[in-house]
């Protein structure tokens, strides 16, 4: 069996997705997610112009060899564009292998280690009453763990806060330029502990609560926030400092016992290596789509296992159902699975990408269809062409561009 056709499909059913479709000489179809929020066309070109032609006539069963051919063969390694493109090929080849074997991918990865993958979703509110309402709504949907994000007094808009009763704050804005937001770390640090105090008063101490700081703090600020939040027993505090500098976490760790999660922007095991080896985090957040696919993330997760670090895969709505399915097959089988982020897709997205995975009573399960369990309605997808959309840019009150 050989790879006969490679196609890149860019579509925007409510938001942009880049999808790779590989067809073999036996007519087996494999699908991969290559979506990189705000930089979608760069990955599409990498796949169309550089990777696609190299895949023709290769043996689709040789997943590891193809991964190394694309990674080492390019000379230019790593980076989100390269690694999202390789990830898409990798997912598509695992999908094909599962379909050929007649098995769901989690069976190829060693079989189920649990009955389902615990999921968390987002609750957001501009103020406390809105946030409390939002948590109630997510609990009614069956979620057993909640990430809570809140508006900050004095700041007009904060990324990650939903519009009205809709927690799907993504895509943050469509148009040729990103929107601009003002950020003030001092105001944020003063406000957030009271948010979690009120959530604990309202919802009790057993509900797992998470919070995301979006890489905006210095190590000292992160240590302070961790200490201030300790009484509220968070499941994790996410992305406290910019993720390029793992040694920043040493200072944070010395001052707080709050569980730390990092890695949604990681694209290589080398981004995580020091954090894992020095046990500076408790959860590794890389997404299958942004870190080289199942083949590479499996290695990151295995390294994490040695250091008692559990997984918490990135799962916002910009990870397509294909990328989410890949995370669920891995999550069901990995011994050190921790939790899976789940920001539900809009109904139109679920129509374009029909999926075998299901959400039931707080847990996600990848389903038992052969491969990843996704079928693409290509005709429907092509009715929604790409639309330029970006994540916002954050400024300090004086106009300085800030981390986020």
Report the interface residues with Co ion, using CB under 5 A. 212, 264
Which is closer to ligand EZ4, CB of 31 or CB of 389? 389
Q: Is 318 in the site for ligand EZ4 (CB under 6 A)?
A: yes
Q: Which tokens sit at 108?
A: 């190829």
C-beta atoms surrounding 162 within 10 Å: 18
369 binds, among Co ion, ligand EZ4, none (CB under 5 to 8 A by kind): none
Which is closer to Co ion, CB of 55 or CB of 297? 297
Which is closer to ligand EZ4, CB of 28 or CB of 88? 88
Q: Is 160 in the site for ligand EZ4 (CB under 6 A)?
A: yes
Residue 187 near residue 32, CB atoms below 8 Å = no
37 binds, among Co ion, ligand EZ4, none (CB under 5 to 8 A by kind): ligand EZ4
Q: Is 212 in the site for ligand EZ4 (CB under 6 A)?
A: yes
- Identify the helix (H) or strand (E) that includes residue 297: helix 293-306
Beta strands in 223-309 (DSSP E): 236-238, 260-262, 283-284
Closest CA to 156 of 112, 114, 187, 197: 187
Which is closer to ligand EZ4, CB of 6 or CB of 172? 172
Whether the bond into 403 is cis, omega within 30 of 0: no
318 binds, among ligand EZ4, Co ion, none (CB under 5 to 8 A by kind): ligand EZ4
Closest residue by beta carbon to Co ion: 212
Give the active site residue among 46, 71, 143, 159: 159
Residue 214 bears catalytic tag: yes
Give the active site residue among 71, 143, 211, 214: 214
214 dihedral zone (left: phi>0; alpha: psi -120 to 50; beta): left
Closest CA to 169 of 265, 37, 268: 37
Return d(Cα 210, Cα 338) in angstroms, integer.
Answer: 13
Q: Is 316 in the site for ligand EZ4 (CB under 6 A)?
A: yes
Return d(Cα 3, Cα 147) in angstroms, integer.
Answer: 42
Q: In the bound complex, what is the minimum distance in angstroms from residue 11's beta carbon to ligand EZ4? A: 17
Return d(Cα 126, Cα 293) in angstroms, integer.
Answer: 36
Site for ligand EZ4 in 33-62 (CB under 6 A): 37
Residue 191 bears catalytic tag: no
Q: How many Cα atoms within 13 Å fall on the side-chain side of residue 177?
A: 3
Q: Is 264 in the site for ligand EZ4 (CB under 6 A)?
A: yes
Which is closer to Co ion, CB of 95 or CB of 264? 264
| Residues of the shown chain interacting with ligand EZ4 in the complex, contacts defined by CB under 6 A | 37, 160, 212, 214, 264, 314, 316, 318, 341, 391
Any idea which residues carry the catalytic annotation? 159, 214
């Amino acid at each position: 069996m050989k790879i006969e056709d490679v196609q890149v499909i860019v579509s925007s059913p409510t938001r942009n997705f880049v999808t790779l479709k590989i067809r073999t000489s036996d007519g087996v179809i494999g699908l991969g997610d290559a979506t990189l929020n705000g930089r979608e066309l760069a990955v599409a070109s990498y796949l169309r112009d550089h990777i696609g032609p190299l895949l023709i006539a290769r043996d689709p069963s040789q997943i590891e060899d193809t991964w190394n051919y694309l990674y080492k063969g390019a000379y230019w390694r790593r980076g989100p564009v390269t690694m999202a493109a390789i990830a898409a090929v990798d997912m598509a080849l695992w999908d094909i292998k599962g379909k050929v074997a007649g098995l769901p991918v989690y069976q190829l990865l060693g079989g189920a280690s649990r009955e389902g993958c615990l999921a968390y979703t987002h609750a957001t509110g501009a103020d406390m009453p809105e946030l409390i309402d939002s948590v109630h709504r997510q609990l009614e949907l069956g979620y057993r763990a909640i990430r809570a994000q809140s508006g900050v007094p004095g700041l007009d808009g904060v990324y990650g806060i939903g519009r009205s009763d809709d927690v799907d704050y993504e895509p943050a804005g469509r148009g040729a330029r990103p929107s601009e937001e003002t950020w003030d770390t001092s105001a944020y640090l003063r406000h957030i502990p009271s948010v979690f105090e009120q959530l604990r008063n309202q919802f009790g101490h057993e509900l797992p609560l998470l919070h995301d700081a979006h890489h905006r703090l210095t190590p000292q600020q992160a240590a302070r926030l961790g200490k201030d939040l300790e009484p509220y027993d968070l499941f994790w505090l996410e992305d406290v400092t910019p993720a390029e500098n793992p040694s920043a976490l040493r200072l944070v760790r010395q001052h707080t016992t709050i569980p730390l999660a990092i890695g949604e922007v990681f694209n290589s095991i080398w981004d995580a290596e020091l954090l894992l080896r020095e046990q500076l985090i408790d959860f590794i957040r890389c997404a299958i789509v942004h870190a080289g696919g199942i083949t590479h993330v499996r290695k990151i997760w295995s390294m994490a296992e040695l250091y008692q670090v559990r997984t918490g895969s990135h799962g916002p709505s910009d990870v397509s159902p294909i990328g989410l399915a890949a995370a669920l097959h891995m999550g069901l089988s990995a011994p050190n699975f921790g939790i899976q982020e789940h920001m539900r897709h809009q109904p139109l997205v679920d129509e374009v990408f029909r999926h075998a995975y299901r959400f039931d009573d707080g847990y996600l399960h990848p389903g038992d269809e052969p491969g990843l369990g996704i079928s693409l309605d290509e005709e429907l997808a092509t009715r929604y062409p790409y639309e330029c959309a970006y994540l916002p840019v954050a400024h300090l009150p004086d106009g300085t561009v800030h981390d986020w």
